[in-house]
């Protein structure tokens, strides 16, 4: 319990960011929904289209909606220029505001439709203009119902804002995603407590406002509004305080290795006197554009990933050429500085149980070919569609007797139980060490390399201080060291470490 409490105390900046994001999204939602509701109350067609659109948006999972804004904003750069942010606050704000639209709009439209027709007739009869009718009669009488809609929208938005983490916007989702990935439940629980607590408090405050509107008690709704406003202002001030241009933002994708390396990089920079911030749990697809646009400053990416996704190449010129080509390409095209390789690969590889490999007498893919037809190969669901497998199959003429799909976790169990003889593994996976597996050599270099590289954003590319601080990491991390660190984070029970502790131990091993 005390561990959760300690984590909660350190969540201040995430908390402030979460409040600012959610409040902005709800505010934008209100700004769009209310005029739309007024228009809808005057036109059946507008009502149908607006409510239909808002309901449609609601059927898109929040996570997908957030991710969708990345390509949308990217394509809008043609209109608004290259400075339009595609990650972080802006897409999160737009997606969440869209999400907040429906409850506000629906309640406002329903409230208007249910106003006493006698009162509306009287409003016309006493000579009110359309605007006077809206502000003097329809608005005040609808206010409690509109407020109920805003309340619902707020609770939804505060919950959904945790997903903003995946597109690089800090929020209370950061500890949740990091905790889920590294199975650190204290982090998950702390994040959930913070965001649920925030939702409950906001719901209660807005409930007071709603009630105040219903009872037409100025003091009551005034006090509620002031309390909410103070909360938002507090978060803004806190954020402005912590906002520092010199802070180096270190990103990580959603797996343990990335969390550990981010911590390792962070501690190196802190030792050199830099202040750092972590942007954990970014979607794999957005990390490269985030670093290229300097939304984040440092990431660890892999040669094979960049080769396929950014350079859009399918050939395999070999490990060295691939790395050099990428480094040059980044310098010329994105301004990203590839500082160097960390020394290990997180590549696809074929692994076998040590006893089985010994039995067959194989240490490389070449030697495996004659035994192939008698063996069962296991891979993750996409592996047998990937260019890596096709390359291996065609280069060595490798054929297996049976092909089976497993989720990554079950792949290792299948190998252990003998349901698979060979599996597609990731070279830096901790379970290779834990299960004492043999990784088969690839003498013909059919598998593309996935060298881990340190990437610096254009913003800090020229900063030699940073380069010097990170220099000791270049070429320093062996695949064995990385496996051990990954395993320490991934494992269950005794000896399980947080990414931070695993990074500290790794630093020790490296003699830093």
**Segment near another protein (CB under 8 A), from 79-87, 127-135, 187-195, 317-325?**
127-135
Cα angle, residue 122 at apex, residues 117 and 125 outer, rounded to 5° = 130
Three-class SS state of 306: helix
With CB under 8 A as the contact rule, the residue among 31, 49, 119, 200 that binds another protein is 119
Is 230 a binding residue for another protein by CB under 8 A? The answer is no
**Segment near another protein (CB under 8 A), from 130-138, 363-371, 388-396, 403-411?**
130-138
Minimal distance, residue 136 CB to another protein, in Å: 8
Is 309 a binding residue for another protein by CB under 8 A? The answer is no
Cα(24)–Cα(100) distance, integer angstroms: 11
Q: State both tokens at 88.
A: 């972080």
Is 141 a binding residue for another protein by CB under 8 A? The answer is yes
Cα(153)–Cα(96) distance, integer angstroms: 10
With CB under 8 A as the contact rule, the residue among 43, 75, 129, 314 that binds another protein is 129
Minimal distance, residue 112 CB to another protein, in Å: 15
CB contact set of 512 (below 8 Å; sequence gap of 6+) = 268, 472, 473
Asked if 454 contacts 339 with a C-beta cutoff of 8 angstroms, the reply is yes
Describe the strand order of the beta sheet including 248-253 as a list of residue ranges.
276-282, 248-253, 298-302, 451-456, 337-345
**Segment near another protein (CB under 8 A), from 32-40, 125-133, 335-343, 485-493?**
125-133
Cα angle, residue 320 at apex, residues 503 and 468 outer, rounded to 5° = 45
Minimal distance, residue 216 CB to another protein, in Å: 6
Is 114 a binding residue for another protein by CB under 8 A? The answer is no
With CB under 8 A as the contact rule, the residue among 128, 414, 460, 467 that binds another protein is 128
Is 180 a binding residue for another protein by CB under 8 A? The answer is no
| Strand (E) or helix (H) holding 276 | strand 276-282
With CB under 8 A as the contact rule, the residue among 78, 81, 117, 495 that binds another protein is 117
- Label residues 415-447 b or e (16+ Cβ within 10 Å = b): beeebbbbbbbbbbbbbbbbbebbbbebeeebb
Is 125 a binding residue for another protein by CB under 8 A? The answer is yes
Is 137 a binding residue for another protein by CB under 8 A? The answer is yes
Tokens 């009869």 belong to which residue? 125
Q: Beta partners for 351?
A: 423, 439
Interface of this chain with another protein, residues 234 to 293, rule: CB under 8 A: none
Minimal distance, residue 58 CB to another protein, in Å: 32
**Segment near another protein (CB under 8 A), from 137-145, 254-262, 294-302, 354-362?**
137-145
Asked if 50 contacts 72 with a C-beta cutoff of 8 angstroms, the reply is no
Choice between 210 and 484, CB closer to another protein:
210
**Binding residues for another protein (CB under 8 A):** 116-119, 121-129, 132, 136-137, 140-141, 216
């Amino acid at each position: 319990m005390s561990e959760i409490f300690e984590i909660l105390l350190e969540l201040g900046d995430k908390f402030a960011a979460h409040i600012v994001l959610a409040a902005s999204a709800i505010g934008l939602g209100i700004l769009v929904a209310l005029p739309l509701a007024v228009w809808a109350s005057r036109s059946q067609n507008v009502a149908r289209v607006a409510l239909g659109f808002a309901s449609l948006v609601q059927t898109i999972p929040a996570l997908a909606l957030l991710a969708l804004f990345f390509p949308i904003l990217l394509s809008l750069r043609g209109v608004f220029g290259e400075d339009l942010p595609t990650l972080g606050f802006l897409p999160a704000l737009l997606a969440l505001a869209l999400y907040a639209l429906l409850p506000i709009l629906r309640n406002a439209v329903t409230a208007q439709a249910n106003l006493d027709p006698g009162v509306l007739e009287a409003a016309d009869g006493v000579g009110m203009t359309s605007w006077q009718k809206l502000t003097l009669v329809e608005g005040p009488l609808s206010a409690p119902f509109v407020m109920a809609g805003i309340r619902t929208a707020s609770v939804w938005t505060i919950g959904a804002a945790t997903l903003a983490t995946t597109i690089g916007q800090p929020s209370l989702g950061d500890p949740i995603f990091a905790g889920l990935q590294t199975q650190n439940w204290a982090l998950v629980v702390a994040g959930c407590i913070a965001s649920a607590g925030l939702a409950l408090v906001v719901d209660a405050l807005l409930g007071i406002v709603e009630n105040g509107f219903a009872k037409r008690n100025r003091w009551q709704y005034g006090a509620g509004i002031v309390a909410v406003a103070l909360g938002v202002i507090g978060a803004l001030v806190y954020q402005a305080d912590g906002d520092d241009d010199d802070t180096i933002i270190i990103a990580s994708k959603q797996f343990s290795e990335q969390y550990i390396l981010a911590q390792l990089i962070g501690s190196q920079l802190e030792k050199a006197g830099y202040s750092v911030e972590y942007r954990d749990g970014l979607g794999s697809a957005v990390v490269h554009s985030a670093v290229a646009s300097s939304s984040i400053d440092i990431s660890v990416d892999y040669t094979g990933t960049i080769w396929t996704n950014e350079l859009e190449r399918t050939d395999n010129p070999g490990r060295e050429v691939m790395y050099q080509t990428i480094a040059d390409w980044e310098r010329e095209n994105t301004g990203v500085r590839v500082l160097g390789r960390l020394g290990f690969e997180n590549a696809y590889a074929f692994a076998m149980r040590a006893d089985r490999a010994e039995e067959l007498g194989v240490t490389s893919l070449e030697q495996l070919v004659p035994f192939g037809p008698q063996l069962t190969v296991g891979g993750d669901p996409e592996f047998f569609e990937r260019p890596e497998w096709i390359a291996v199959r065609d280069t060595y003429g490798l054929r297996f007797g049976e092909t089976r799909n497993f989720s990554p976790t079950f792949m290792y169990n299948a190998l252990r139980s003998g349901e698979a003889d060979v599996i597609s593994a990731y070279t830096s996976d901790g379970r290779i060490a834990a299960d004492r597996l043999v990784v088969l050599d690839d003498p013909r270099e059919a598998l593309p390399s996935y060298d881990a590289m340190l990437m610096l954003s254009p913003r800090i590319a020229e900063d030699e201080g940073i380069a010097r601080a990170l220099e000791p990491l270049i070429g320093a991390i062996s695949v064995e060291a990385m496996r051990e660190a990954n395993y320490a984070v991934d494992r269950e029970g005794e000896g399980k470490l947080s990414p931070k502790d695993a990074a500290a131990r790794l630093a020790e091993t490296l003699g830093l």
